[in-house]
Amino acid sequence: MDLQRPAADGERRSDDSLTAALTNAVIGVMKEYVGRGPTKGRAYVRDDVVVVILGETLTKAERTLVRDGKAERVLAVRQDFQRTMRDALVEEVERLTGRTVIAFMSDNHIEPELACEIFLLEPTRGKAPG
C-alpha cells in the first residue's frame, strides 16, 4: 500500500484537495490528542463513504510495548483514543465534506503498522445508504 506523506500547511492543493484536506485533518486531530500523528496517510472518498488509511501510527512508547509482547494492550488503548477522538474526527469530516456523518468506525493493525478511519455519510437526497 502506497501511503503519501501529508501535505504541508499552506501547500497549494490540486484536484485532490478534498482527499488531501481529509488526510491532513485526521492526522492533525490524532496529533492533537496523542502528541504524535501518523506520518503517512491517504483518504478515499466514494459516494457516501470516506476512508482514511494511516501509516506509521504508533508512538515510540507503543512500539516498545509491542516489542515487549504487549500488542493487545496497545490496541486496547488505541481503541480508547479513537472513542475519545470520535467527535473531533467527525466534526472535521463534516466540515470538509459539507455532509453529515451517520456512522464512524475505526481500527488499528500492528504489523504492518496501519490504522483505518471510516466515515459513512448521510446519503444524498433520493439515495439509500449502502
pLDDT digits (tens, 9 = 90+) for 50-64: 999 999 999 999 999
Cβ atoms 119, 103 nearer than 8 A: yes
Q: At 36, is the pLDDT very low, low, confident or very high (cuts 50, 70, 90)?
A: confident
30, part of any domain: no
Structural domain boundaries, residue 90: 38-121
The answer to whether residue 29 is domain-embedded is no
**Structural domain includes residue 130:** no
Q: Considering the domain boundaries, does residue 106 fall inside one?
A: yes
Judge whether 27 lies within some domain: no
pTM: 0.83
Measure the N-to-C terminal CA separation of the chain; round to a whole number of Å: 25
60 found inside a domain: yes
Q: Is residue 9 in a domain?
A: no
The pLDDT, as a whole number, for residue 95 is 97
Residues 77-125 have pLDDT tens digits of 999 989 999 999 999 999 999 999 999 999 999 999 999 999 999 998 7
**Number of structural domains found in the chain:** 1
Tell me, what's the pLDDT at 104?
97
